[in-house]
């Protein structure tokens, strides 16, 4: 059994808790500052000797949570988004502390495989100039950040795979896009499940590739897999690096 501490007991924390037993894991501790029945701060005592802490909290809380976990030399999986602009700083701290640290904006196995298809599709369409490229991500009205962390990861893959696009534009465009610009729009509303769609558009036809989340279980299964994988490791890994290592 892998012993887990859940940091953030919202939609994701609760889903992971429900599924933990089915993945040979046990939740030994929960930390959430806004729920009085649980510990409010990350301390050695509150971690209850967990093998791995899993953070699905709030974009604004992520850096402070991660620094505390690293100081406590706690192996950690972090699914919280909105902090990856400080990834290199956190990576250095985690490496210095010699802990196992795994991060990702999207722990869905399906999304990970979709990313591979996207890379191939961009390479295939790249030689056919009639086909322009743009993308749209949609999420429920509760989501705190925009664009989604997954959209940022997809955009980086697309720019790396395309010979024609050099720049992603996230904001609304009040002019024509430049040929080397790739427009990635975000919409927030209602209960929309996380949806990422890439469009290849020509004067004569459109090809759409979509990944649509049906349930948070897809992320929870990935997070539980990541926790078991990182429990006895040192080093910093992305979720996609873990999948790559498992496939090899």
Ligand X SMILES: NC(=O)c1ccc[n+]([C@@H]2O[C@H](COP(=O)([O-])OP(=O)(O)OC[C@H]3O[C@@H](n4cnc5c(N)ncnc54)[C@H](OP(=O)(O)O)[C@@H]3O)[C@@H](O)[C@H]2O)c1
Beta carbons of 237 and 225 less than 8 angstroms apart = no
Pick from 16, 30, 79, 182 the residue near ligand X by CB under 6 A. Answer: 79
**Does 237 participate in binding ligand X (rule CB under 6 A)?**
no
User: Binding of ligand X at residue 32 (CB under 6 A)?
Assistant: yes
**Shortest distance (Å) from residue 142 CB to ligand X:** 7
Taking CB under 6 A as the criterion, which residues in 91-150 touch ligand X?
104-107
Of the candidates 2, 29, 57, 74, which one interacts with ligand X according to CB under 6 A? Answer: 57
Size of the residue set binding ligand X (CB under 6 A): 26
* Residue 210 C-beta: closest distance to ligand X, Å: 17
Judged by DSSP in three states, 198 sits in strand
- Rounded Cα distance between 22 and 224, Å, is 10
**Helix (H), strand (E) at residue 115:** helix 109-125
73 is catalytic: no
Token pair, residue 120, equals 């191939």
Classify 186 as helix, strand or coil.
Answer: strand
Question: Which residues have a Cβ under 8 Å from the Cβ of 145 and sit 6 or more positions away?
Answer: 59, 81, 82
The CA-to-CA distance between both ends of the chain, in Å, stands at: 25
**Identified binder of ligand X from the candidate list 2, 75, 81, 112, rule CB under 6 A:** 81
Q: Active-site positions?
A: 139, 143
**Which positions lie near ligand X, rule CB under 6 A?**
7-13, 31-34, 56-59, 61, 65, 79-82, 104-107, 219
């Amino acid at each position: 059994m892998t012993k887990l501490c859940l940091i953030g007991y919202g939609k994701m924390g609760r889903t992971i808790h429900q599924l933990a037993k089915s993945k040979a894991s046990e939740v030994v501790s929960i930390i959430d500052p806004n729920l009085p029945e649980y510990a409010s701060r990350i301390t050695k005592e509150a971690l209850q000797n967990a093998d791995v802490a899993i953070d699905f909290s709030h974009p604004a809380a992520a850096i402070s949570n991660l620094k505390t976990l690293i100081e406590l030399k706690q192996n950690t999986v972090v699914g919280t988004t909105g902090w990856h602009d400080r990834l290199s700083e956190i990576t250095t701290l985690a490496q210095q502390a010699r802990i196992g640290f795994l991060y990702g904006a999207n722990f869905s196995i399906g999304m990970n495989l979709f990313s591979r298809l996207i890379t191939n599709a961009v390479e295939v369409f790249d030689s056919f100039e009639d086909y322009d490229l743009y993308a749209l991500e949609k999420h429920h009205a509760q989501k705190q950040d925009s664009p989604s962390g997954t959209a940022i990861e997809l955009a980086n893959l697309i720019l790396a795979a395309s010979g024609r696009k050099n720049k992603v534009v996230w904001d609304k465009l009040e002019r024509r896009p430049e040929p080397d610009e790739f427009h990635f729009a975000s919409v927030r509303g209602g209960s929309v499940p996380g949806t990422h769609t890439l469009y290849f558009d020509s004067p004569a036809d459109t090809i759409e590739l979509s990944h649509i989340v049906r349930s948070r279980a897809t992320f929870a299964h990935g997070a539980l897999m990541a926790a078991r994988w990182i429990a006895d490791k040192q080093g910093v890994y992305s979720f996609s690096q873990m999948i790559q290592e498992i496939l090899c």
